[in-house]
Structure 1
Amino acid sequence: MNPWESAAEALKAEDRTAAATPSPPASTPEPAHETAAPWSTIDEKSGTAALRRLGRGVLWAVVGLAVITGVRAWIVPNHGTTPTQQSPAKTAPAYPTDAAQAVAGRFARVYLTWDEDHPDARAAALAAVLPDGADTAAGWDGHGYQDVLAVQPAAVTPTTQRQARVRVDVLIRTTEKEGTPAKGKTKATAPTTADHWIGLDVPVVQTAGGVIVTGEPGIVGVPAHGPKAPNLKTPDTDAAFGQQTAGTVTRFFKAYAGGDVDSVTAPGATIPPLPDGMTLVGVTSWSADAGNGDDRTGTAQVTWKVGGAQVEQTYRIELTRVASADAQRWQVAEISGGAA
């Protein structure tokens, strides 16, 4: 018999036997066959476990803090506490100092000028600087003669309601006209004049249209002397360089007095000539500041004859070294009055 045919017949007989055998109840599941696990267990490293435990500890700490302080305090800040950084306070706009000084200076010149022979001139001038409808007499009784020679607006002191007080220093000239002839005399006394400084406090107010004078001012005194000067540090000097350039400075002032400084000034320097009527007496002293390089500075004391008198003046001189193909020399590049 063919073995393959025998095997096929045996397989068919098994299939017929299995089909004839009744199936077990559906409620009784077939026991599961144990199979091997699809994974393998790996020992956890100690560092990883420590990090996990630390993370759990931090998480529980945050939960505990939220319970104590309240989650709402984290989300909505407490406005009752003072913030660590406060917003800058709003400041009022600066007072218009320049406009206040201009108005007060113009008013002071008109207010302190009067001529009893022409009273309407003062009233018309005051009307131009006072608010509409203000009294143009401004306290004057209509007598006397006075002129204003100079006006110097000074400090502006703001007060309230956009008002301010402007200090104005005024140089006035009062005139006493000819008096009646004394008994037994045929000629009247000559007019006399006197010049002196006075202070004037002018009240002003800022309006939508600018700054205006709000009322009558008050005459105040002028200090007899200024405040004490601070102790200023004088620059160190270079005696050798001062001696080396003394001739240069002297030649410059001689040319300066003569009105022709082009030959003694550095290329590109522009120094306006002195006014007429000044004659050089001499350079009293020249002191060069310590330093180095091609630009040096120093202080010169110079005596001039002007208006029939001799006056000593102080100048700051800037020298620059000018070099040519075969020589070099120092020339004046800039000059300014005063020791600063």
Structure 2
Amino acid sequence: MSTPGTSSPRQAAFDVMVDGVREPWWIRTRRLVVLSAIIVLTILGALDVITTVIGRLRPSSPISAPGIADGALDAVAEGVAVDYLSWDAEDRARREQVLRRWAVPGRDVDGWDGQGRQSADSATVLARARQDLGNAVVTVRVRVVPYTVDGTSGPPDQAPPQSPDHDPGPSSPDTEPGVPAAQPAPQTLPGWRAHPARWLIVAVPLALHEGRLLLAASPALVGDPGTDAPELLPAGNATSDDRFSRDTRSSVRTFFEALATGDLDFVRAPRARIASLQGAAVLVEVRQWRGVQAPPGKSPEQRMGVASVVWRTVENAGQLTCTYRLRLHRQDDRWLLAAIGIDTGTSP
């Protein structure tokens, strides 16, 4: 038997001497556990501090979704929108040169008729609709100043035609077409009369081409907050339906007339979300309408097609040809507009 204050031979093997005093093994073990915990917490704290510092030093990424960064999309789309909505009949070559720099090589993206004068500025992105990692449609609001011929100063070399109902007299913002802006009309140029600024909204289709973000097709005038979807037609080469195209051509024209004026209640399909141009443009003609056959297995009450439309901008400052992709819905023997998007540069 061991006396009090002494250890058995087996315990003595685990005890140690500290300052001449024998220390039990369990005290030593507790001390090692506490020391190990302190070391671990110190290391974890240091790693947390390092991670925080690195996170603050590293610039935040503008990418909110896989693919092209939002900032890159916005920068290109805003530049395209300003250049696309600016033109001058006296210097057509300048616009052609500028748009070629924005566009995919070999792609014709100029829908302007070459008449009139208009300047644009103050572009702001309203929405983005991504198709895939390299394609997107960006909706941009732009402030424009339209010009008309000033008869008192003598017409410019290429004067835009005047519409029969054109009234060059002053008007209040309540009666002006389109959405008025507060910017006053700039100083009138010789041969031209400037009008108060308006807001226009344009959808810009962009694509990543050989490492550059470029304009894939002509932009198109749309309503706020933009088109319903960037792509509405089935993938691949859809087959045209000539009979369907003939039967629905008048309905399609009615759709675009309502899109311009805002009278969409009688042409819009139930639950369709379609915004009007709010009088920012007047329909000149539906230049081309091509309906396509319904894909196998799809309801014949849902049809699609592509329309090429000519708009006359406010104050008759010029005309733009825009291409749209439509989805139609038949209800009670009437075709209604279910969705509208823009051409994105891929052939249906």
The bucket for the TM-score relative to the shorter chain is: 0.3 to 0.5
Which protein has the larger Cα radius of gyration, Structure 1 or Structure 2? 1
Which one has more relative contact order, counting CA pairs under 8 Å at least 6 apart?
A: 2
TM-score, normalised to structure 1, is 0.34
